[in-house]
Amino acid sequence: MAAFNLCTIVGNVGKEPEMRYLPSGTPVCTFTVAVTRKFGTGDQRQEKTQWFRISCWNKLGETANSIVHKGGQILVSGSVEASAYLDKSGQAQASLELRADTFQLLGSRGDGQSGGQGEQGGGDYSNYGGGNSGGGIDEIPF
């Protein structure tokens, strides 16, 4: 039986991308995306934000490093991996990483655009050799 892991998120970039290179020379660009879900009605309206770490590999990573910016709205598709770790104080924490196959810039926060050409452009960056190629989880540089 075949397996399939695909996740698509739309949210706002939480920090400027960081570009790193593995010892093999493979480029990896990482950044975070906040996805906020609103629920409830009236006085009971609430928000919950989930943070995703995004990794873009190879040419897709180089492209992301040059055009993705903090605060911009972005759509990212790829495979998701969950991991657990201990923080500096020894508390158990969990993290979600989305290894991008494609992304699309949707605009800047609060620019009123819902999917068109935003301030940063609206190109679909899917054919840049990124995806899940590259090193395994042991080679991630963070």
Q: What is the pLDDT of residues 53-76, one digit of tens each?
A: 999 999 999 999 999 999 999 999
CA dist 27 and 23 (Å) reads 10
Residue 28 domain-assigned (yes or no): yes
Higher pLDDT, 128 or 94: 94
Compute how many other C-beta atoms are within 10 angstroms of the C-beta atom of residue 83: 12
CA dist 4 and 13 (Å) reads 26
Instruction: Give exposure, 44-56, as e/b (b: 16+ Cβ within 10 Å).
Output: eeeeeeeebbbbb
**pLDDT-derived band of residue 142, with 50, 70 and 90 as boundaries?**
very low
Per DSSP bridges, beta strands 92-108 and 46-57 are parallel
What domain count does the chain have?
Answer: 1
CA dist 16 and 35 (Å) reads 16
Residue 21 domain-assigned (yes or no): yes
Residue 103 domain-assigned (yes or no): yes
Domain that holds residue 38: 7-131
Residue 142 domain-assigned (yes or no): no
Compute how many other C-beta atoms are within 10 angstroms of the C-beta atom of residue 18: 13
CATH of the domain at 97: 2.40.50.140
Helix (H, G, I), strand (E, B) or coil at 59: helix
Residue 119 domain-assigned (yes or no): yes
Q: With contact defined as beta carbons under 8 Å apart, do 36 and 142 qualify?
A: no
Residue 141 domain-assigned (yes or no): no
* Full-model pTM: 0.72
* Residue 10, token pair as written in the block: 């739309």
pLDDT, average across residues 17-27: 97
How do residues 104-130 score in pLDDT, each as one tens digit? 999 766 554 443 333 344 566 654 444
The pLDDT of residue 110 is 58
Residue 51 domain-assigned (yes or no): yes
Residue 136 domain-assigned (yes or no): no
